[in-house]
Amino acid sequence: MSGIVYGIGVGPGDPELVTVKAARLIGAADLVAYPAPEEGDSFARTIAASHMRAGQREFAIRMKIGEGQYPKDEVYDAAADKLAAAAAAGDSVVVLCEGDPFFYGSFMYLYARLAGRIPVKVVPGVSSLMACAIASGGALAAKNDVLTVIPAPLPEAELKRRLSEAEAAAIIKVGRHLPKVRKVLDELGLSAHARYVEHATLDSQKVIRLDELDGAAAPYFSMLLVHRRGEAWS
Amino acid sequence: MSGIVYGIGVGPGDPELVTVKAARLIGAADLVAYPAPEEGDSFARTIAASHMRAGQREFAIRMKIGEGQYPKDEVYDAAADKLAAAAAAGDSVVVLCEGDPFFYGSFMYLYARLAGRIPVKVVPGVSSLMACAIASGGALAAKNDVLTVIPAPLPEAELKRRLSEAEAAAIIKVGRHLPKVRKVLDELGLSAHARYVEHATLDSQKVIRLDELDGAAAPYFSMLLVHRRGEAWS
């Protein structure tokens, strides 16, 4: 008797952007696990809640969540042990992942600990990359465009080098790095080509040109999209 | 009385990877439109078929589909006119798009002709980018990796320049460009770091190391994933 662990992408935020497959597996699971902050609600669970059964067993994987925070190995070790034990006892286990599990997601750390030990399957989800492009009103990339995904925590010189070579770029994990990113885009003359998107697909969604955005910080779930040609919003 | 046109991403191929929102809108639509080859079945329609109602009105947008083929403006002009007329008459219209509508998708050409003329909304879908990474068994990107999406039709020198600078890369639209891409990856010593994925999430899915792949061509729906560090499959 052996169960299975599914790593499931639940999409960018709108509960209706969960896939039919994810909704089915979530509803059928014996145990629903999800990352959660040390105190308070899990965003992944909030997205998936309407697809869960009443009284379903749950496992909140509590960890320090936030900018530049990578949870300690012990957190993943302990969570993997608990998930593996449930699967070994025959449970169908789902681990909810915001967006897609393998696109800058934390599920890969659990996957590395579970694969080969118990059956693990990964179910793709709608990524915030695609959701933010749609929110911005312009195509992310077309035809033979090269698209570069650039994490904002990179050093300023590296950001500048990458952005100077990019035709179309998505700058992720903006957060407190907003002033640094803004400076680089200003220097490259790209600020007028950049759209800022926050909380895509949620009621709190915000889309604004970078040069109209005030403030020195952005939430963790925000992104800047840059089209060198500026065609997307012409 | 005015209807609406929805551009809907139906995901990479598995009909269960359609979102709950897409399934609802497809089932409720007065008219279901989709790109189709000049003769034969539409892949987008095949993905969505189980979410359609019996007897639903359909509009196959017939066009030359294939490598390096961009349909003529007249095809999109005529299709946009027909979609706009249906929406103006009060219909709810869905246009099915493989993967995600704004990620190298053809819906943007209809969007450009329809936006401002009638209400148009775009619904993100699961992209083949995420589906192929999962099929390959490795994360697409993690932490502060820079990820570059590179279309294979680019000239060899450009491909080489882009790949030499990439930490993680997805080479899309491989098709008949396979020998050129293989040569570039060989020269950069990256062939052992490259995984080839074809028909991700379908029963015909195939995943293989590039250096174990024979042949001089690949199907249109194929991708190469390259991790410079090779960690993904270590």
ipTM: 0.94
- C-alpha of B227 from chain center: 21
| Co-location of A9 and A42 in the same domain | yes
Task: Give the pairing type, strands B4-9 and B120-123.
Answer: parallel
CA distance A189 to A167: 13
E strand or H helix that includes residue A206? strand A206-209
The confidence score (pLDDT) of residue A204 equals: 93
Residues B118 and B162 occupy one common structural domain: no
B23 has a pLDDT exceeding 70: yes
Instruction: Kindly determine whether residue B19 and residue A21, on different chains, have CB atoms separated by under 8 Å.
Output: no
- Say if residue A116 is in the same domain as residue A150: no
- B136 and B212 both lie in a single domain: yes
Looking at every residue in chain B, the average pLDDT score rounds to 92
Q: How many CB atoms lie within 10 A of CB A152?
A: 22
Partner residue opposite B150 with nearest CB, options A101, A108, A146? A146
pLDDT of residue A148: 97
d(CA A188, CA A227): 12
Alpha-helix runs per DSSP H in A71-146: 73-88, 107-114, 128-136
Residue type, B106: S
Contacts of A145 in chain B (CB under 8 A): 104, 151
Answer yes or no: do A20 and B21 touch at CB < 8 A: no
Q: Are residues A112 and A147 in the same domain?
A: no
> Hey, of B50, B97, B102, B177, which one would you mutate to test binding to chain A, going by the most A CBs within 10 A of its CB?
B102
pLDDT above 70 coverage of chain B, percent? 96
Among A36-50, A204-218, B39-53, which is the least confidently predicted range?
Answer: A204-218
* Adjacent-strand bridge partners of A62: A36
Closest Cβ opposite residue A126 in set B15, B23, B126: B126
Inter-chain touch B17–A21, beta carbons under 8 Å: yes
A106 compared with A13, residue with greater pLDDT: A13
- A106 with A207, same domain? no
Query: Residue A219 is encoded by which pair of tokens?
Result: 């939430």
B90 within 8 A of B56, measured Cβ to Cβ: no
- Contact state of A145 with B133 under an 8 Å Cβ cutoff: no
Q: Which of A67-71, A101-105, A198-202, B81-85 comes out lowest in average pLDDT?
A: A67-71
Q: Does B159 touch chain A (CB under 8 A)?
A: no
Which tens digits make up the pLDDT trace of B116-174? Answer: 999 999 999 999 999 999 999 988 888 899 999 999 999 999 999 999 999 899 999 99
**Which of the four pLDDT bands, split at 50, 70 and 90, describes residue B230?**
low
For residue B146, count other CB atoms closer than 10 A to its CB.
21
Is B144 in Cβ contact with A146 (below 8 Å)?
Answer: no
CA angle A96, A101, A102 (to 5 degrees): 165
Please list every residue in chain B whose beta carbon sits closer than 8 Å to the beta carbon of residue A101: 134
Is B175 touching A (CB cutoff 8 A)? no
Q: Which of residues 109-148 of B touch A (CB under 8 A)?
A: 111, 115, 122-127, 129-131, 133-134, 137-148
HSE (side-chain half, CA atoms, 13 Å) at B205: 17
Say whether residue A157 is in contact with chain B using an 8 A CB cutoff: no
- A10 and A117 inside one domain: yes
Question: Angle between the A107-114 and A73-88 helix axes, to the nearest 10 degrees?
Answer: 60
Q: Checking DSSP bridges between strand A31-36 and strand A57-62, what pairing results, if any?
A: parallel
**Is residue B170 located within the same domain as residue B199?**
yes
User: Of A40-49, A210-219, B26-35, B103-112, where does mean pLDDT reach its minimum?
Assistant: A210-219
Residue pLDDT, tens place only, A64-117: 877 666 778 899 999 999 999 999 999 999 999 999 999 998 899 999 999 999
Question: How does residue A234 score in pLDDT terms, banded at 50, 70 and 90?
Answer: very low
Same-domain pairing of B140 and B172: yes
Residue B188 touches chain A, beta carbons under 8 Å: no
**pLDDT for A107-144, tens place per residue?**
999 999 999 999 999 999 999 999 999 999 988 888 89
Look at A217 and B46; give whichever has higher pLDDT: B46
Please indicate, yes or no, whether residues B209 and B185 belong to a single structural domain of this protein.
yes
User: Is the domain of B61 the same as that of B149?
Assistant: no
| CATH code, domain with A133 | 3.30.950.10
Q: If phi over 0 gives left and psi between -120 and 50 gives alpha, with beta otherwise, what is residue A143?
A: left
How far apart, in whole angstroms, are the C-alpha atoms of residue B148 and residue A185? 19
Please say if the pLDDT value at position B41 is more than 90: yes
CB contact under 8 A, A145 and B165: no
CATH no. for residue A50?
3.40.1010.10
Mean confidence (pLDDT) of chain A: 92
pLDDT of residue A171: 97
Higher pLDDT, A76 or B229: A76
Q: Which of B123, B144, B172 is the last residue of a domain?
A: B123
Interface test with A, best of B18, B20, B145 (most A CBs within 10 A): B20
Query: Of the residues B123, B150, B182, which one is the last residue of a structural domain?
Result: B123
A5 vs B175, which has greater pLDDT? A5
Q: Which run of H or of E encompasses B196?
A: strand B194-198
Select from B105, B123, B141 the last residue of a domain: B123
Number of folded domains that form chain A: 2
Q: Give the number of C-alpha atoms closer than 13 A to the C-alpha of residue A175, restricted to the C-beta side.
A: 13
The answer, yes or no, to whether residue A47 has pLDDT greater than 60, is yes
| B58 plus B133 within the same structural domain | no
Query: Nearest-CA residue of chain A relative to B139?
Result: A102
Domain that holds residue B103: 4-123
Rounded Cα distance between B36 and B47, Å, is 13
